[in-house]
Each structure stands twice: as C-alpha cells, then as structure tokens.
Amino acid sequence: MGLLDRTWPKLGRDLLFNTVASSVLIPLDLRWLVYRAFGANVAPSRIQPNVWVGSRNLTIGRGTFVNYRVKFNTFGSITIGTRCNIAMDVSFVTQSHELGPTTRRAGQLIADPIVVGDGVWIGTRALILPGVRIGNGCVIAAGAVVSSDCEPDGLYAGVPARRLKDLPVE
C-alpha cells in the first residue's frame, strides 16, 4: 500500500467532517444532518462550527449542544447522551499507547470507548480520556482531566478529576 492509498481516506474524512460539516457556511440547526449524511450517528442537536471529528465512530443524542473547537478523537467509539452541553475546547481522546521498551516508550496503539450519559454538562477545556464513562446528570468542571468513571449526579473537578459534590436529583 503506497502513501497515497493510506492518505486518501484521511483526506476524505477531513474534507467531509472537518471542512464541510464544520464550516460556518452550514446553518447551526442543520449541521447535525450533515454529520449524519457522512455516516455519524447524530440525532437532532446543535453543533457549532470548527468541531473536529476523527471518524464516523461518533454518536450524539437528541438535544445536545456542542460548542466551538470540540475535538472528538474517535479511534474508539464516543457516545454522547441526550440533552448534554459540551463547552468550548473540550477534548474526547479514545486512544493511547501501551508502555513500550526503553527505545520507544509509546508502544502499541490501543483504544477504549468513551460514554457520556444524559444531561451531562462538560466545562471548557476539559479532557476526557480513554475508557471513561460519565454518568447521567454529572457536571465536569472547566479544565478537569477525567481519567476514571464518574458516578451519576456529581460535580467532578481537578487533575485528575474527582467528585467534589453530590448534585440534587429531581
């Protein structure tokens, strides 16, 4: 397989997901349809321009709001529930590396899915790492690094994120 054979799928993805779908020329209320047309499982939602999507391996639930410059690294799947709010510059990272030998510590590439429950609010510049499950009704504070699961209806903050407060359940 030559360089062009490996490059074309990436160019196509970037052209479709990260140029056309994320363009400011696509109306906000219709952008979800463009992502869906390109193969992502996106329900009616509001997705701002300049969102980066790695592949079709993305599910976004009905009524979710995704703000500017969110990054969905979809080497593993990412599932976002219904009625979520995702602030600017949030990164969802599904891939990492196994620990390698001294000569190259970043060993074999691995992936773990990310699952975000319903009604979750994720603050600006939060980082969601591989394999994390965020329970329904959670709030993830701005700048938090979420490296382990978050139980429902909690406020999580810090590096690494930890539960600071139980939130009221209605």
- β pairing state of 106-111 and 95-99: antiparallel
Bridge partners of residue 37, in order along the sequence:
none
Beta-carbon contacts of residue 126 (< 8 Å; ≥ 6 apart): 87, 90, 91, 140, 141, 142, 143, 144, 145, 146, 161
Residues annotated as catalytic (active site), given as ranges:
97
Closest Cα partner for 127 from 169, 73, 54?
Answer: 73
